[in-house]
Structure 1
Amino acid sequence: MLFVYEGFALGKILPYFQFLLAKIFGFLVTLLPEGPSLWVGRRLGALAYHLVGERREVALENLHLALGPERSEQEIRSVAKRVFQNLGMTAVEFFRMPRMGEEALRQKVEVEGVEVLEGLLDNNRGGFLLLSHLGNWELMAPCGRFFGLGVSVVAKPIKKNPWLDRWVTEIRERVGLEVIPTEGASKKVLRALSQGRWIGILIDQRAKRREAVWVNFFGRKAPTTPALSVLALRTRAPVVPVFMVREEGGRHRLIFKEPVKLVDTGDVKGDIEVNTGQMTQILESMIRQYPDQWFWVHRRWERKKKSRP
């Protein structure tokens, strides 16, 4: 039973303390020039690799499952460490994002494949963006202004820390992003689409078994949300894969890929599985190119249950 003092549960103290630490960190990195702040993020990421043992082990386990036959143990550990460094720099850039003007952002971000959007923007229909936790995915939000895009994203709330959740949502909204919580998202997504907005949906995290379709990801079946395939087939709206990858010197490259060629045979269940599978393969192809920039700290595959003796 939680100890309660003057209406404040002890169980709420830790999340609030985490929120305060994040606020302080976010404030401090905005005071530093960009170069030193990224250095701090990289160093903190390297420190987290050594201190946050559970997440490190998840990353190493995932990397062994995905890349084990192709990489040595030393290479896998090196990739895992760089993953944490990328996450540290991503956190720094996220907190600095609201203070970044459009011109400064244009100087940091090179755009590749913008011609993909040209024909799609003419009809003002809107569409879907196939997203993943690659590079600095958060930095894509303010880049929508480059193309006059109204961008929404379906995001999971941080349920264990409502203070942090509100603050993160506020930062995203300050750079022009509409945040749609996952619960009851379908109606809001359809409304946003009818307004000509582009809706980003991430499909690279483990989905609940009862809601998932099982598709190949690095040669192993992974429970994956079918939400994007379902919505795309229902609306016939285009699905454009987009990625933000990190480059040297604090620069980034925003990459638009050709729209996904949706399979629509009339077999709803089969089509959803096929389309989710091909979207996942697009993500895998990019992750293979930038393995040290993906979110390996998330347990993407279900763990095998240990057999009883």
Structure 2
Amino acid sequence: MKVNNASKSPSTDITNSKRSLIKQKTISLGIRLLVSTLLKLTRNRRKKLVQNIGKTILRFANKTRKRAINNIINAMPELSIKEATDLAFDAYGNCAYGVAESFWLSQVEPDIFCDEETLQILQSGTGACIATMHIGCYEAVPLAVAKFAKQSVTLTNIPDFLADTMDFYSEVNITAINKKSENAFSELVTRAGNNAYISLHCDLYANQTEVTFFGQKTKAPSGVVLLAKLTKKPLLLAYAVYQDDGQVQVFFETLTSDKLAEQNTEQKAEQETTQESEQTVEQVMAQIYQRFEQIIRQYPSQWYWSYNRWKNYSS
């Protein structure tokens, strides 16, 4: 009686592993060559080229394009279909460039704006947790933090084939933690406890904390607020936008209980009737998203509209 062994032999596993490694290195090399070619162009030509590539990709990405247009129409119903469509393409092109600039962060010199209180936090060296968003140059916030602090940390979702190109973070003194790692949050807690400045994008959908966003209920990731509360670090909000000349500007704001309460008088009244003055995670996230909405309305063509941020869920 003949028994067929369907399991892979060790030699097969080794061969597949080698093929995968060769594929990753080939893709990585191709990206490096592309980046080096782009860097030979002037900044304006590079920006226009990447924007046009982004718009072309969106034209053929039916699902992504429809989601972006629907999101814009739902968020800003005052816009016509044509206006929403044009905005979707402009935003996708701008965001493509905002992502691409991550590959040459050493050439990005952002202008930084903040008030005196926030500046003291950034210069203190004692760390902070920073809520940021997918607008403008995506990695400009941790880049700006690195201008002030020795420990600028962020989460990244870089594919495996780009793993060996992550030196574009270390070149500008940013520590990038892979968000897919099982120990990602615990590592963030450790680094925050060691006075690092942690920048986290939190304008995505996540089944964590309910918020209202552009008049619609959805859920958001609350890790940045939990991290701040757990480590007792200041909570900041920061975002980066491009000016007409292509210059990146990064804005930092301090989120304190008093300031957050001032933004919502009804919530302030409720707080005064409770024994505990500290805001809950839900209250802080609500204020962060209220501020996000204000920023997006100011710079709608620089925010990434294609995420499925308003997906249905059960409360």
TM-score range, shorter chain: 0.7 to 0.9
Structure-1 residue corresponding to 2:178 = 181
Q: What residue number does 2:303 align with?
A: 294
Aligned to 1:8: 16
Cross-structure match for 1:162: 160
Report the CA distance shift for 1:300/1:143 in structure 2 as closer, same or farther (over 3 A): same
1:274 to partner: Cα distance: 1.4
Change (3 A) 1:126 1:50: same
- 1:41–1:91 Cα contact (<8 Å) kept: no
Q: TM-score, normalised by structure 1?
A: 0.81
Query: For the Cα contact (< 8 Å) 1:29–1:96, is it kept in 2?
Result: no
Give the conservation status (yes or no) of the 8 Å contact 1:214–1:273.
yes
Aligned to 1:238: 234
Q: CA deviation at 1:114?
A: 4.7
| CA-to-aligned-CA distance 1:261-290 (integer Å, 9 cap, x gap) | 2789788xx812111111111111111111
Task: Describe the superposition over 1:28-81 as per-residue Cα deviations: whole angstroms up to 9, x where unpaired.
Answer: 1122222221121122122122122222112112112211x2211111111101
**SS of 2:238's equivalent?**
strand
Determine the C-alpha separation between the residues in 2 that align with 1:200 and 1:96. 19
The alignment partner of 1:295 has SS state of coil
- Contact 1:141–1:176 (Cα < 8 Å) also in 2: no
Mark the runs of 5 or more structure 2 residues left unpaired by the alignment: 1-5, 262-270
Shift in Å at residue 302 of structure 1? 0.9
With 77-86 and 135-144 compared, the bigger mean Cα shift is at 135-144
When residues 19 and 222 of structure 1 are mapped into structure 2, their CA distance, relative to the original with a 3 A threshold, is farther
- CA distance in 2: counterparts of 1:217 and 1:31, whole angstroms: 41
CA RMSD of aligned residues (A): 3.2
User: How has the CA–CA distance of structure 1 residues 112 and 236 changed in structure 2, closer, same or farther, with 3 Å as cutoff?
Assistant: same
Question: How far off its partner does 1:139 sit?
Answer: 2.5
Letter in 2 for 1:79: L
Aligned residues: 289
**Counterparts in 2 of 1:18-97, with a 5 A limit?**
19=28, 21-67=30-76, 69-97=77-105
Q: Which has the larger radius of gyration?
A: 2
Cα shift readout 1:69-113 (whole Å, capped 9, x = no counterpart): 221111111110111110232244222223x2xxxx44xx33222
Partner of 2:143: 142
CA–CA separation in structure 1 for the residues paired with 2:213 and 2:135 = 15
Aligned-pair identity (%):
21
Q: Structure 1 stretches of 5 or more lacking a match?
A: none
